[in-house]
Every structure is written in structure tokens, then in C-alpha cells.
Amino acid sequence: MKDRQYNKSIAVMGGTFDPIHLGHLAVAQTVFEEFSPQKIIFIPSGIPPHKEGVSNKEDRYNMTVLATLNNYFFDVSRMEIDRKGTTYTIDSILELKNEYGQDTKIFFIIGLDIIKDIFYWKNYEQLIKLCEFIVVPRPNINEDEIKEMINKFSKTEIKFTFLEANKLEISSTDIRNKIANNKSIKYLTTPEVESYIIKNRLYKNNKFINIDIDEIDKFIKSELSSYRYTHSIGVAETASMLAERFGDSKEKAYIAGLLHDCAKEKKYEEKLSLCEEYKIDLDPIMRSNPDLSHGLIAAEIAKKNFDIYDENILNAIRYHTTGRKHMTTLEKIVFLADIIEINRGDNPFLKELRDIAIYNLNAGVLLGLKKSMDLCIEKNIIFHPMGLEALNSLESNM
Ligand SMILES: [Fe+2]
Ligand SMILES: [Fe+2]
């Protein structure tokens, strides 16, 4: 623990720090030089770990410690991490006043995008009496508009200074997306934080997809007939609806739905040569019926053209034709959405399946698999063994 000396001013920087990056550190350093506080205190927020998009608080705390370890004047506080229940800024400021003395001036570092929300915060009138705000510029946000707004809303006098800082346009979201897409984050955060992220495999399971849906849309439109393009949109929308219902990621479901059939209309020879190019090993059944491989090819296209590396999305695309043993929720969702989406029209079987799918995902997939097995028998073609395995594993769990 670094020494805490009592002095007349400190600066506070709050945030989720998920992860902390060089932009945060550069701002802190500028504040340190411009305002001469005795310390900059980083306070990672205590948002509960189950909240969508926010990592475990101990990881966020550890990364903040690692990033600031080499600077004597930077300190990290656990106060919000350790506080039970909802954490309010005012509570942290009061705690700091107790710790550093009531006469200590507190500079509160805040983003230009956040300061306008301050009037909604708990006990904001007390808060703005206790702090001086240092406002950090943000790209695309107009300073004058914000100043005008602050003056309009502020009944109590609010002290704020706009920081002349280099706009280092690094964002935590960008770092998380890079990790999820296997790209380097060198020079965006400190080497210690980078190693911590790699060692602990943070942000690998991409909950933070930043994939350009419009690009995918354009691509499938160019690859598919208008019938199949409309079907793909239908699958994406139905999958997204089912994901919401069964607690999976709507974004992932939508993306998998859009791409699931992107290789479907390729000619027989092209399918075979793409399998060769992507080193997809076709079993004898798929070799005799290469149409079954269109999911496997589509997953490779998703990787190559759109940098999608999320295995759950890729597998949902891969196995949408056959199914397989132990399918994930997302795989089941896309499998089912492919069958029931609205452009498939209406018939008694689809009506029944749509009714079941909404309430019981497993029962829906099972019924869908049974129907495709029946169709195979009817058409005298082999029902793929992976489908049979899926069917058996679902049946044994019913
Ligand atoms: Fe398909
Ligand atoms: Fe399809």
C-alpha cells in the first residue's frame, strides 16, 4: 500500500475500468500536472459481476492496480468494489472527505458525456458543493452546448474546468472487441494489463460484439437470390426473438441467422472446392450430398469476411442443417428459426412447431429433427448421423 499523506487536494477518477487503458492514464497525468493534487485516486465501480458487459470487479480492480503501480502519485481505492448494494458517488466523496480531512479539496474527473447526467445523481446538490469537476473532452460532443446546459440546470453553483487534454481516442469497448477478435492491444494499455488480460483470458467470450451488420446484410444480398435473402432476414429476426425468450444473446442470434445460408446457393463444384480451400473434411454422406456442407462453409466465410471468431456463433451457423449432439442454446435457436421463420409460409406442422418453439426450445428442436428425418425417409436420402445423435441426446433428456 502506498503512503497516504494528508494534503489539501486530491483528484478522483471513477469508472468501470473494463479494462483501464492509456487514455485514462494520460488524462490522470494531465490532471496531476495541471491541478497539482497530491494524489490521483482511481475508484473502480462496484457494478455487480452479472451485469451484462461488465467484467468481474476483482479483475477490474487488479488491472487498475497493475496499470498504476509504477506511479507513486496514482492510487487505487477498493471503496466501491467492497461496498454492498448500490454504490453512489456521494458516498465515495463523503468517505474520501473523512479519510483525507474535511478541508481537502476534491477534484472529480468526469467525462463531458457524463457531466450532464449529474443532476440525476443521488444528493447531487451536496455533491457539487463538495467537489470541483474537471471535465474531460469527448469526441463528437460540443463543449459549449454542455456548458449552457449545466448553467441552465444548476441551481447551486457548480465549479467545473474543462481539461485541455490530448484526445487519445482509446476506448475500453474497442480493446474488448480487439481481444475477442484475436487482435493485438499493444500500445492501447500498459504491458502489465495486457499480460493480465491474456493470462486470465478476459474478453475472450465475446459479449461485446462489434460487427457491422449492414456489411453482412449487403454481402448476403449480393450472394443470394431474393427468396433466400428474405428467408435469411426472417431467420435472423426469429432467432433474435427466440434468444430474447430463452436468455441468449440477441446480437449473436441475429448474426448467425443472417449468415447461416450464405453459401447455400453456391454450385456443387464450388462447394467442393471451397471445402478444399477451407480444409473442411467432408464425411462420405456430405460428399454425396454437398448441400449439407453449406453451414460448414458459411462459418468459414463468417470468419474470413467478417472476423467472426465467436465459436458459439460459428457453431450455430455450422450445424444449422444437421444439428449435433449437445447443441448449445444458440445452436438450437438458429436450427429452429431456420425451420419456423415466417417466410416459410403456413401449414399445420409449422403452426404446431411455432407454438411449441415459443415455450419449449428442446421440444421444438426435437420435433424439427423428427420432421427432417421423416422428410429424408420420404425422399429416400440418408438422414445425417449427427442429426440422429442430436435427436437421441434431446430425447434422453426430455
Ligand atoms: Fe441452410
Ligand atoms: Fe436456411
Q: Does the structure show a pLDDT above 50 at 4? A: no
Average pLDDT over residues 306-330: 93
Measured between its terminal Cα atoms, the distance across the chain in Å is 55
Q: Does the structure show a pLDDT above 80 at 140? A: no
- Residue 190 shares a structural domain with residue 277: no
- Residue 234 shares a structural domain with residue 370: yes
Ligand 2 centroid to residue 232 C-alpha, Å:
6
Q: Does the structure show a pLDDT above 90 at 142? A: no
Kindly state the percentage of the chain with pLDDT values over 70.
92
CB 28 within 8 A of CB 122: no
**81 inside domain:** yes
Average pLDDT over residues 194-221: 79
Rounded Cα–Cα distance for residues 27 and 165 (Å): 7
Residue 367's nearest CA partner among 348, 344, 380, 342 is 348
Q: Does the structure show a pLDDT above 80 at 133? A: yes
Rounded Cα–Cα distance for residues 125 and 116 (Å): 14
More confident residue, 182 or 17: 17
Ligand 1 centroid to residue 320 C-alpha, Å:
6
Ligand nearest to the CA of 337: 2
pLDDT at residue 49 in the model: 47
Ligand 2 centroid to residue 317 C-alpha, Å:
10
pLDDT at residue 209 in the model: 55
User: E-assigned strands of the chain?
Assistant: 9-15, 39-44, 74-76, 105-111, 131-136, 160-162
Q: Does the structure show a pLDDT above 90 at 332? A: yes
**4 inside domain:** no
Which bin fits 157, alpha (ψ -120 to 50), beta or left (φ > 0)?
beta
Tell me the C-alpha to C-alpha distance, in Å, between residue 18 and each of 67, 175, 179, 201.
Answer: 12, 9, 12, 13
Rounded Cα–Cα distance for residues 126 and 92 (Å): 12
pLDDT at residue 2 in the model: 41
Ligand 1 centroid to residue 253 C-alpha, Å:
15
More confident residue, 350 or 167: 350
Rounded Cα–Cα distance for residues 225 and 167 (Å): 46
CA angle 357, 299, 293 (to 5 degrees): 85
**Sign of the alpha-carbon torsion through 151, 153, 156, 159:** negative
Average pLDDT over residues 334-349: 92
More confident residue, 158 or 254: 254
**3 inside domain:** no
Pairing of strands 39-44, 105-111: unpaired
Q: Which of 171, 199, 227 represents a domain boundary (last residue)?
A: 199
CA dihedral 196, 200, 201, 206 (to 10 degrees): -90
User: What is the DSSP-derived secondary structure letter of residue 205?
Assistant: S
More confident residue, 213 or 96: 96
Ligand nearest to the CA of 296: 1
Long-range contact pairs involving 373-382 (C-beta distance under 8 Å, separation at least 24):
381/289, 382/285, 382/288, 382/289
* pTM attached to this predicted model: 0.52
Ligand 2 centroid to residue 367 C-alpha, Å:
17
Grid cell in block for residue 359: 415455450
pLDDT at residue 309 in the model: 86
Ligand 1 centroid to residue 398 C-alpha, Å:
26
CATH number at residue 329: 1.10.3210.10
Average pLDDT over residues 267-282: 91
Q: Does the structure show a pLDDT above 90 at 247? A: no
pLDDT at residue 115 in the model: 80
pLDDT tens per residue across span 12-57: 999 889 999 999 999 999 999 999 999 999 999 886 544 555 678 8
Q: What is the mean pLDDT of the chain?
A: 87
How confident is residue 153, by pLDDT bands cut at 50, 70 and 90?
low
Q: Would you list the DSSP string of 277-343?
A: HTT----HHHHHSGGGGHHHHHHHHHHHHH----HHHHHHHHTTTT--TT--HHHHHHHHHHHH-GG
Average pLDDT over residues 208-219: 77
More confident residue, 90 or 158: 90
How confident is residue 7, by pLDDT bands cut at 50, 70 and 90?
low
More confident residue, 152 or 316: 316
Ligand 2 centroid to residue 165 C-alpha, Å:
51
CB 325 within 8 A of CB 389: yes
- Residue 38 shares a structural domain with residue 159: yes
Ligand nearest to the CA of 320: 1
pLDDT at residue 208 in the model: 45
Ligand 2 centroid to residue 180 C-alpha, Å:
27
CATH number at residue 45: 3.40.50.620
Ligand nearest to the CA of 336: 2
Ligand 1 centroid to residue 294 C-alpha, Å:
7
- Residue 184 shares a structural domain with residue 328: no
CB 335 within 8 A of CB 365: yes
Q: Which of 199, 225, 244 represents a domain boundary (last residue)?
A: 199
Q: Which of 199, 222, 243 represents a domain boundary (last residue)?
A: 199
- Residue 345 shares a structural domain with residue 266: yes
pLDDT at residue 154 in the model: 64
Residues with CB under 5 A from ligand 2 (ion): 261, 338
Rounded Cα–Cα distance for residues 129 and 156 (Å): 8
pLDDT at residue 48 in the model: 53
Average pLDDT over residues 369-375: 93
**43 forms bridges with which residues in the sheet?**
14
Average pLDDT over residues 298-310: 92
- Residue 95 shares a structural domain with residue 48: yes
Question: Number of structural domains, the chain?
Answer: 2
pLDDT at residue 213 in the model: 80
Helix axes of 361-379 and 329-340: crossing angle, nearest 10 degrees: 60
**53 inside domain:** yes
pLDDT at residue 137 in the model: 82
pLDDT tens per residue across span 60-107: 999 999 999 999 999 999 999 998 877 788 999 999 999 999 999 999
Q: Does the structure show a pLDDT above 70 at 156? A: no
Lowest mean per-residue pLDDT among 2-11, 95-104, 194-203, 270-279: 2-11
Q: Which domain holds residue 375?
A: 213-396
